[in-house]
Amino acid sequence: MDRKIGEDIWKAEGEVHKRTSADSTRLRQKNKMEVDTLDYITGDVLSMECKDGKWRPVVFLSKSLNETERNYKIHDKEMLAVIRGLEN
């Protein structure tokens, strides 16, 4: 193998390692998902605990319920909101 190609591969592997390490650090931060359900809509908020100890929203999700879902009991609507939040 050409020395230049070997060096490029080594640099690329180092870059992948740095990015992967940074991503895994973010994954170790505390996250929480809050859901709410009304008669016609479900809503989710994914929040992350920051270094200052405050929770900050990262992602919002809201979706309307179809005609069948509107007839669900409230605990089933809440579970639907949790499932939608985990799927997205």
Q: How many domains does the chain have?
A: 1
pTM of the full structure: 0.62
* Full domain range(s) for residue 40: 3-87
- Alpha carbons 33 and 62: distance in angstroms, whole number: 13
Place of tokens 């879902």: 69
Residues 6+ apart with CB under 8 A from 32: 46, 47, 49, 55
**What digits encode the pLDDT tens for the residues 5-45?**
555 555 555 565 565 555 555 556 788 889 999 999 999 99
57-69 residue pLDDT tens: 998 999 999 999 9
State the average pLDDT for the chain: 79
CATH of the domain at 26: 3.10.20.370
